[in-house]
């Protein structure tokens, strides 16, 4: 019985011990990966930007709306949450039961 227990113990501990030996091999690629971390994201962001100078060039443009229109729009939005319009719900064959 004791021999069987030792064998089971060795078999279960062996993968953990070998995994510790393999860790330095896997970590050796990390400095190369760390040096390029985020590079793909920066490339994709640069490709999606059409005109990087647009905010600077258009800084002096007049807004399409004034403060009064914006305030009224926000008031209407808030009111729509306080008293939403009634909804029409049609349930067809949901939760039946009579059979």
Q: What confidence tens digit (pLDDT) does each residue in 44-91 have?
A: 988 888 888 888 888 887 777 888 999 999 999 999 899 887 888 877
Element housing 29 (H / E):
none
- How far apart are alpha carbons 24 and 78 in whole angstroms? 58
Q: What is the pLDDT of residue 76?
A: 93
Distance CA 47, CA 69 (A): 36
pLDDT for the residue 8: 78
> Which of the pair, 80 or 27, is modelled with greater confidence?
80
């Amino acid at each position: 019985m004791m021999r069987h227990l030792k064998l089971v113990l060795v078999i279960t501990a062996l993968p953990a011990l070998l995994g510790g030996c393999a860790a330095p091999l896997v970590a050796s690629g990390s400095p190369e990966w760390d040096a390029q971390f985020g590079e793909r994201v920066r490339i994709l962001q640069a490709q999606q930007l059409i005109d990087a100078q647009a905010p600077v060039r258009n800084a002096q443009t007049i807004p399409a709306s004034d403060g009064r229109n914006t305030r009224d729009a926000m008031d209407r939005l808030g009111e729509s949450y306080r008293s939403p319009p009634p909804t029409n719900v049609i349930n067809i064959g949901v939760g039946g039961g009579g059979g």
